[in-house]
Chain A
């Protein structure tokens, strides 16, 4: 467990089963993850994949069915919540309705037996941190969702936790406020140096805020990596599909040289991709290709390797084109609307496709 000690949080082979017998639900199925100190770490995944469960195990509201959890090297899975130096920002804030903002933020400090003047100073400091000084005497019911969210954040930050857990804290806010809060949360994390474990099912949120992301599905971690890794180098079909839009192209390995492979697909396409998994020449594999990596060029009807645009959808900043490579192979390409007006092409136009080497990724499944 030497590795476990150098991390802020180490989750080792954790299993969580709710209920028993035929109705049992496996919420986490052998999850292992190491989160470094000072990291902004995001758990990303669809509804029901076990994100909240992992957070609740860390906070101590649930006990794991199996596995171990270490917090800065200390085994914690048997400690009650009030003995863990971890604070939570709850999804619906869970502010105490009968207490003022000041009392809410001071609650943790009071329980830690800080003296009154220290509590007062820390509450003011935290209120300033979330820019809510003017609301000190309000009750939660007298504030908007966004304001309550800031107070919930302040309350969790006040005791200076070693790790802050945030369960979809932005999901109840409107789009503009959510975007503003993303930036603020990120700044706050950098300034305080606290390890943030952030839960979301919003991929954009995850990509813009995180140092690293763990993509989860059905109680398992599919891939862990920096936003760039996750987006540019998805390991499997689930990750490629969940984050952004992707063309899945069935291709055949035509040649292998070292760690690179050349794959060919219908419509005369040829890709050079890094090798993934155990494959040999002639195998059929799935490639992922992001729509925006495809460069379109006008082509004459007879040009070799050209294809027909089946459909054009104007999206404001971009236009997406569905392109028929062969009768049953379609790809989607995304083209930025640089010139004024609609996209560059119309349905029925012939185009040729270009992409940089390495823009297609071979998937493990």
Chain B
């Protein structure tokens, strides 16, 4: 796209580049510090003593950190699988039943949790569990995570479905495929990039969650974010930097993968 020379273009005003640069420094400097200090040789997190990876070994060898990491993984994997499955079914139901009354209301309801303050959801979930007498622990965290992951998984799947027209499914029916075979051989493979994207989004959202997890975790069910928070209360140690850096790395990998997945959408859907 060519930018027109005439007219008001903010980028052409002097000083804008500086502001942009400052903005990026503000955004990314803390993370850069975090990553750099993860490789600090010092026993005290804030004093630089030279490069070392010893805190990585130490963090990975820490039993509590291992337990927390395993909990986080179990929760994220379970929540992702269940949420993505439910989101796929919901997206298919929405797309394939055509226009129905309350369609936009339904869409709104599915996406609403994205904008509800997390603390409200957290308190609500906790009260709900208390009312129905649900034992707090790993399972309660999984259930809570599944619920808030569904809208995140739903969005990319739905976007993918919107871009698919139903001619391919009709072609499959024309070639003697029944409804299940059409879904299995045509719809599902074509939907897969959206499903994978939704799953990755769910996974990082779950791995990363703090507030809801804090509320609904019982004793003994500590996740990585909860563990980091616990450690910070005793002061920032290099170990905290290490775990945070690893989580940052995982998030970046997933987000990049998600980006590449959804970017290809225009090319892969046919008409």
Contact = CB atoms under 8 A, between A and B. Distances in A.
A197 to B, nearest CB: 14
Given A92-B167, A97-B190, A98-B190, A107 B185 contact: yes
A97 B175 contact: no
Given A107-B185, A111-B181, A140-B270, A94 B176 contact: no
A81 B167 contact: no
B186 A92 contact: no
Residue in B173, B175, B177 with the greatest tally of chain A CB atoms within 10 Å: B175
A90 B167 contact: yes
Contact of A82 (B178, B185, B267): B178
A80 B173 contact: yes
Given A107-B185, A140-B270, A94 B175 contact: no
Contacts of B174: 59-61, 81-82, 86-88, 156
A111 B167 contact: no
A155 interface: yes
Interface in B154-180: 167-168, 170-178
Contacts, number: 64
A82 B186 CA distance: 15
Interface residues of B, number: 21
A82 B173 contact: yes
B189 interface: yes
A96 interface: yes
Contacts of A108: 175-176
Interface in A298-345: none
B270 A81 contact: no
B20 interface: no
Contacts of A87: 174-175
Interface in B115-173: 167-168, 170-173
Contact of B171 (A86, A90, A98, A112): A90
Interface in A44-101: 59-61, 80-82, 86-88, 90, 92, 94-98
B100 to A, nearest CB: 15
6 contacts: A60-B174, A86-B174, A87-B174, A94-B170, A96-B186, A111-B177
5 nearest CB pairs, A to B? A108-B175, A81-B173, A111-B176, A94-B171, A97-B270
Interface of A: 59-61, 80-82, 86-88, 90, 92, 94-98, 107-108, 111-112, 140-141, 155-156, 159
